[in-house]
Amino acid sequence: MKKWIVSLTVVIVAAIAVLGFFVYRNNPFLFTSVEIGDPIDSLNHVVVYYNSGTGNVSGRNTAPDGYNIGLKYQCVEFVKRYYYQHYNHKMPNPYGNAVDFYNKSLSDGNWNPDRGLTQYSNPGSSKPRVGDLIVLDATSLNGYGHVAIISGVSDHTIEIIQQNGGKHAKSRVTYGLISQRGRWQIDHSRVLGWLRKNNAR
């Protein structure tokens, strides 16, 4: 009887440990005391800040020259700050929600004048690159859409780095990448496309 109880206890403890691992892996901030505005990641020394709930706003971030970077610590603020700090790029239209970064009237590979970037559709003729700005469409629950930066590319996947993905969302997420007949598709139904600064590295 004692052996049976010990065995059952071991099984329960192991199950709790495995469950805890999967909960933590999918909700990395669930058991931490991270606060709004705390740095949680970075790409090329440009920091991603924690924002808790997606609707939170902690004021507006503007550059010393007055350029509007965006509302802290929304997804748009991160991508615009990344392009401003890493590429010294100012968008001609410094305003707009995430979904507005992608102009649906443009053909693949055309110039997006509001962003000062070349725009590729999903699927598109150019393989995504590290540093590209990726745009996800709005949904019935999120009318603003979402933007992020591509932080890694392989033959079959891309990695994005994001700010304000959600209270328990990870700062980095991987999507599948499909190559077919000379076109590249990011395997996510909400991805509209990606934008690129010419000669960006």
Secondary structure letter of residue 147 according to DSSP: E
Secondary structure letter of residue 99 according to DSSP: G
> What residues of the chain score a pLDDT lower than 50?
6, 10-11, 13-14, 17-26, 31
Which has the closest alpha carbon to 115: 130, 129, 96, 128? 96
Taking phi over 0 as left and psi of -120 to 50 as alpha, with beta for the rest, 42 belongs to beta
**Structure-token match 């994005």, residue found:** 160
Partnered with residue 172 across adjacent β-strands are 161
The torsion angles phi and psi of 195, rounded to 5 degrees, stand at -120, 150
Q: Do 50 and 38 meet the contact criterion of CB atoms below 8 Å apart?
A: yes
pLDDT digits (tens, 9 = 90+) for 64-107: 999 999 999 999 999 999 999 999 999 999 999 999 999 999 99
User: What is the per-residue pLDDT for 22?
Assistant: 47
User: What is the per-residue pLDDT for 32?
Assistant: 63
Give the 3-state DSSP-derived string for 34-69, with helices as H, strands as E and coil as C. Answer: CCCCCEEEEECCEEEECCCCCCCCCCEEECCCCCEE
User: What is the per-residue pLDDT for 11?
Assistant: 47
User: What is the per-residue pLDDT for 3?
Assistant: 59
The CA–CA distances, whole Å, from 58 to 51, 72, 74, 83, 97 equal 9, 5, 9, 21, 16
The terminus-to-terminus CA distance of the chain in angstroms comes to 66
Q: Which two tokens stand for residue 68?
A: 């509007």
Looking from the CA of 183 toward its CB, the CA atoms found within 13 Å total 12
Burial class (CB in 10 A: 0-12, 13-18, 19+), 103: middle
Cα–Cα distance between 130 and 119 in angstroms, integer?
Answer: 15
